[in-house]
Chain A
Amino acid sequence: DIVMTQSPDSLAVSLGERATINCKSSQTVLYTSNNMNYLAWYQQNPGQPPKLLISWASTRESGVPDRFSGSGSGTDFTLTISSLQAEDVAVYYCQQYHSTPFTFGQGTKLEIK
């Protein structure tokens, strides 16, 4: 299984400041045949299902604010929120879809400082 490890487990950031969440996979999630990273990021609010933010490690989903961005390749990935808004308080998960069993990071809880 590919183990996904997020850091930190929780994060408190001031409104308007940058938030950075890291995700590391135990094996590469890059397919060299198409040079694509099989990595997604989700946002989850209490009582709600996860909401897709980013696929292919860096492709923002339609309707997701451009303050959200994804980067990285291979085994190391980052989700960045450039200017934190109150509505961004949530738990964030990375997920690999490179191979089964699909696996998620343990989640990062983002709060306002």
Chain B
Amino acid sequence: QVQLQESGPGLVKPSETLSLTCTVSGGSISGYHWSWIRQPPGKGLEWIGYIYDNGNTNYNPSLMSRVTISLGTSRNQFSLNLGSVTAADTAVYFCARHFLGTWASWFDPWGQGIPVTVSS
């Protein structure tokens, strides 16, 4: 059974870069699309972007200028970099797999999520 786990710093200073890693266990990254999704405190869900196993990416236009999603050096990891962060980027960040072997899919499974606070 595929499981995902987010990792990274829980506190980032304003104007700096938020960097998170998602580690996939129980399965391979190959053949699937993988997304980052975030949820500000007490608010709804926002899709950030996805990456395919060949490195192709697709980002939410609302964040595109600041986002990079990349494959990790380990074949079972992928990462999120979000630059020039502000307090508005404070959120729980989730990684998730696209269930189907295509980009047009619901998300399942999800990682547990990692809370990230932007503050000096």
B44 on the interface (CB 8 Å rule)?
yes
**Residue of A with least CB distance to B104:** A97
Task: Known contacts A97-B105, A100-B103, A101-B62; decide if A50 and B44 are in contact (CB<8 Å).
Answer: no
Contact (Cβ within 8 A) B45 A50? yes
A35 to chain B: closest CB distance in Å?
A: 15
Give the contact stretch, choosing among A11-19, A20-28, A71-79, A104-112.
Answer: A104-112
Give the tally of cross-chain contacts (CB within 8 A): 50
Interface string of A30-54 (1 = CB under 8 A from B): 0000000010100000001110100
Complex CA gap A97/B98 in Å reads 10
The majority secondary structure among interface residues of chain B is loop
Complex CA gap A28/B88 in Å reads 30
Partner of B45, one of A38, A93, A97: A93
A60 on the interface (CB 8 Å rule)?
no
Complex CA gap A109/B46 in Å reads 17
Contact (Cβ within 8 A) B44 A105? yes
Q: Number of B residues contacting the other chain (C-beta, 8 Å)?
A: 22
Measured as residues with beta carbon below 8 angstroms from the partner, the interface class of chain A is: 20 to 34
Kindly list chain A residues whose C-beta atoms are within 8 Å of the C-beta of B94.
49
Contact (Cβ within 8 A) A98 B104? yes
29 A/B residue pairs, CB under 8 Å, sorted by A = A38-B104, A40-B106, A40-B107, A49-B96, A49-B110, A49-B111, A49-B112, A50-B45, A50-B107, A50-B110, A52-B99, A52-B107, A61-B108, A93-B44, A95-B107, A97-B104, A97-B106, A100-B47, A100-B58, A100-B60, A100-B103, A101-B47, A101-B60, A101-B62, A103-B47, A104-B46, A104-B47, A105-B44, A107-B44
Per CB-CB distance, the 8 closest pairs between chain A and chain B, nearest first, are: A49-B110, A40-B106, A102-B47, A101-B60, A104-B45, A52-B108, A106-B44, A55-B106
